[in-house]
Structure 1
Amino acid sequence: MRLGVIADDVTGACDLAGRVVEAGLPASVLLGVPTDAATFPSDGSGCSVVALKVRTAPVDAAVASSTEAARSLLAAGATLLYQKYCSTFDSTPTGNIGPIADALAAVAAEAGDGTPAVTVGTPSTPCAGRTQYQGVLFVDGVPLAESPMRDHPLTPMRDSNLVRLLAQQTPAPVGLVRWDDVRRGAASVAERVGQVHTLVDALDEGDLDTIAEAVLQLATERPVVAGGGAGVATALARLVASTDAGDAGRGGDASAASVPPVPVTGRLILAGSASAATRGQIAEFPGERHILDPLLLASDSAALSRVRDALAARDDQLAPVLVHASPDVSAAQSELGTERAAALLEDALSELAAFAVDDLGYSHLLIAGGETSGAVTSRLGISRLRIGAQAAPGVPWAVASTGGADGRGHGRTIAVLLKSGNFGAATLFTDAWQVAP
């Protein structure tokens, strides 16, 4: 199996790739739709993840780039497409998960013999506290709509029933395979996939293994697009790696140690996420910190320069320094609008990343937040990530070469950790450096 993944943001792509590597398959993350087939790995195995920025993009643009990415992956030899979305779904009733699923099913059908394709999956990722039961998504045992995701600034999750939510996003029928049927085995799951889109309950890793086996069984009979959080992709990797454990390049050769070491010349943390987990990590960080307030960025043209000057004046670049968004963004969103407040923060944080790498020579960046990660990697001209060791489940380090928007940073090798806002323990900003390349 060659798994071709279309991820709706950069941190989700890294989450999946890190878990797949740990399960035994090599993986790489490509940032944006590849324009050159040579960008893809040439070893004929493993997992290629195309990281897009489409979670909250306009539907037409999200569908267009996802379709292009899927076709590129199939042309490069992918044998199974995978739609990666957040394990907390992160999608409003008018969101992009359904339209992208429709588009990927159409691409899979085109690539086959014209037989209509189905999508099968679940956001369930038990090791991250995400489970689905009776079609309802739970976050650390709490229904999604009662979790902190209820008040997410961009995608407030007010409905825990994913079947009902997905049905609002697509004209295609949406079905559910309940947990009792999952417990009966892969054949039971496969038999109950009759709708175009099917969500599957899963409470533990064994359930994910059953779903993965059912996906591969279905794929021998008709075009299939797997999907969900990183959980099912990890189970697919486990299944293939265990089957092919004796083959060269499989079952253990996907070691995180294969990424090259990066000499440490500076450590910078940039946090744009407003999630509860990231707020906890900010609160626990004991080192130097600077706050970016969108209202101040909008009203004071020197606000960003003062933070830049503070970074330049530091005597010890090896000690991590944190730059983060103001913990209370509600006032800025109310006055500036949600989109402008977010854009001001993303632009400022990505500009600081470029300044730290290109002008100050920083080698290691830890970025918290999917939108922030996308902005930073774009500003640095990064096109591919080599996945390394995980600092926490779903939070891997990676090694990349920068391009530098102005050419100054071209060819510089840096280590980056791109973290979903919801992931990681409270001490991540202190502990992550221990496993950095």
Structure 2
Amino acid sequence: MTTSHGRALLGCIADDFTGATDLANMLVRGGMRTVQTIGVPASNDAVEADALVVALKSRTIPAADAIAQSLAALDWLRAQGCRQFFFKYCSTFDSTDTGNIGPVTDALLDALSSEVAGARVFTIACPAFPENGRTIYRGYLFVADTLLNESGMENHPLTPMRDANLVRVLQRQTGSKVGLVRYDTVAKGVSAVRESFDALRGVGVRMAITDAVSDADLYVLGEACADFTLITGGSGVALGLPGNFRRAGLLAESNDAAQLPRIEGLSAVLAGSASKATHAQVAAWRETRPAFRIDPLAAARGDPVVEQALAFAQQYLDKREAVLIYTTATPDEVKAVQRELGVNEAGHLVESTLASIARGLRERGVRKFVVAGGETSGAVVQALDVRTLRIGVQIDPGVPATATTDAEPLALALKSGNFGAIDFFEKALRHLDGAAQ
């Protein structure tokens, strides 16, 4: 299947690697053949896909660097002929008061302002993902039945979220005026939402948080944004975008968007996230399956933790049995490490250690990787020199199976720390072993 005009329709910029696959998964479910690139490609050669997702590692870097990377991604997507652009961030709005969601959105709007009238002055910000328990009501972000700042995200080691009011959070990041499209407006449908957009534009609002408590709301918002040059949000709001292209006659109906090749080889799981969900997934795995925990303090002392982990893994890989290698810890344990090493150094140490282990596992015949944590996933795919991914079927909400299109094929499941059922690791391996076709 190809698009009717032969070029990609939607160009997406994601601020981390698991967020990119989360978004790509949503687009594939909507019937768009989707390719994800790891970073900005060096070549402008045309990529055959309906949607392109550029995965950056820009969520926690300085805002100026995040802006530069995002604008470089935008330039590449423009060269690919994309008609609409999407800036994707986490469904828990992970950021700090100094960025990066607001600054990047401002920069993208500025860059696109010359292309479509009105683009400079308005877009939405909607991280809602009801399927994974993220909803927005009166501007407040909930995780299941709990406000964001009481959900455990207040303990995030890099982006602690201590305010659930997204209007306030975003306003602290930008000099642009931030508004709100309330749920009672969204419930009235597409026309009412578009009227609200016009009213907000009229009073100088440039970015609007939009309430959403169900998938139906996301379809309404997606259709209401059909003529936007830039949309921002979590992957949920992308539910309504494929239908816009289909109604415009630009996207054909298809049943093969999620097809992937089968990849042979050994399997392993790597977990660097400290989230509650990943902590539970690690505990569930350890009840019946082999696991090796990396102690960041031991790594900092110079202990040969990489060699120890690979030696542990080898005895199970020899029996073709998957193994988990993890740094996941409780919030108190994470804080203790950060106090000793510093927040940035602790994060970098975990990522670089797991990246080295990933390279060692590949040398030992591992071709199927399940990775937990956005920052960890970014480090691992870079260590494995992955350039592009074709997106396959959904494993759990927000997490698809993927396969590289590089010379040495790999099957990957890249999971945001907060996503996935308690048995996610087992389920993902089953998909990568035979269901990702």
Q: TM-score, normalised by structure 2?
A: 0.91
Shift of 1:313: 3.4
**Aligned match of 1:6:** 13
Correspondence for 1:74 = 78
CA distance in 1, matches of 2:125, 2:29: 21
Matches within 5 A, 1:193-342: 193=197, 194=201, 195-216=205-226, 218-219=227-228, 224-241=229-246, 250-256=252-258, 258-263=259-264, 265-285=265-285, 286-314=288-316, 316=318, 318-327=320-329, 328-342=333-347
1:192 Cα deviation after fit: 1.7
Query: Mean alpha-carbon deviation: is it higher for 363-372 or for 330-339?
Result: 330-339
Q: How does 1:365-376 map to 2 (within 5 A)?
A: 365-376=369-380
> Where does structure 1 lack aligned partners over 5 or more consecutive residues?
403-410
What is the correspondence of 1:406-425 to structure 2 with a 5 Å cutoff? 411-425=407-421
User: Separation in 2 of the partners of 1:143 and 1:120?
Assistant: 21
2:25/2:392 contact within 8 Å kept: yes
Return the alpha-carbon distance in structure 1 between the equivalents of residues 349 and 297 of structure 2.
9
Between 232-241 and 325-334, report the one with greater CA deviation.
232-241
Give the drift of 1:254: 4.0
Residue 42 (structure 1) shift? 3.0
- Give the C-alpha shift of residue 241 in structure 1: 4.5
2:390 to 386, 389, 411: 386
How many angstroms apart in 2 are the aligned matches of 1:317 and 1:112? Answer: 59
Q: What letter is aligned with 1:318?
A: R
Corresponding position of 1:34: 41
The runs of at least 4 aligned residues of structure 1 exceeding 6 Å deviation read none
Given the alignment of the two structures, is residue 144 of structure 1 paired with residue 151 of structure 2, yes or no?
Answer: no
Aligned length: 415
The answer for unaligned runs of 5 or more in structure 2 is 1-7
Alpha-carbon contact 1:135-1:161 (below 8 Å) kept: yes
Would you say the 8 A contact 2:23–2:235 is kept in 1? Answer: yes
Greater mean deviation of Cα atoms: 306-315 or 144-153: 306-315
- For residue 65 of structure 1, what is the aligned residue in structure 2? 69
TM superposition score normalised by structure 1? 0.91
Q: Return the offset for 1:112.
A: 3.4
User: How much has 1:389 moved relative to structure 2?
Assistant: 1.5
What is the percentage of aligned positions where both structures have the same residue?
40
Indicate the SS of the match to 2:158.
coil
- After superposition, the Cα gap between the structure-2 partners of 1:27 and 1:287, relative to the gap in structure 1 and judged at 3 Å, is same
CA RMSD of aligned residues (A): 1.8
Task: Give per-residue Cα distances to partners, 1:87-106, cap 9 Å, x unaligned.
Answer: 00011211200000001101
User: For the residues of structure 2 that align with 1:401 and 1:234, how far apart are their CA atoms?
Assistant: 25
* Pick aligned residue for 1:171 from 163, 175, 182: 175
CA distance in structure 2 between the partners assigned to 1:115 and 1:21 by the alignment: 27
- Retained in 2: the 8 A contact 1:273–1:372? yes
The alpha-carbon deviation at position 227 of structure 1 amounts to 1.2
- For residue 314 of structure 1, report the CA deviation from its aligned partner: 3.2
Offset at residue 154 of structure 1 (A): 0.6
User: What is the rounded CA distance, in whole Å, between the counterparts of 1:180 and 1:305 in structure 2?
Assistant: 57
1:182 to 183, 186, 193: 186
Aligned equivalents of 2:97 and 2:334: distance in 1?
24
- Matches of 1:164 and 1:362 in 2, distance apart? 46
* 1:375 Cα offset (Å): 0.4
Q: Contact 1:399–1:415 (CA<8 Å) still a contact in 2?
A: yes
| Residue-by-residue CA offset, 1:304-361 (whole Å, 9 max, x unaligned) | 211122223335453220000051322211100111111111111011111111x211
Per the TM alignment, residue 34 of structure 1 is displaced from its structure 2 partner at its CA by 1.9
- Superposed CA deviations along residues 354-408 of structure 1, whole A, max 9, x for unmatched, are 1111x21111000000000000111111110111111111111111155xxxxxx
Describe the shift of the 1:309–1:130 C-alpha distance in structure 2 as closer, same or farther (beyond 3 A).
same
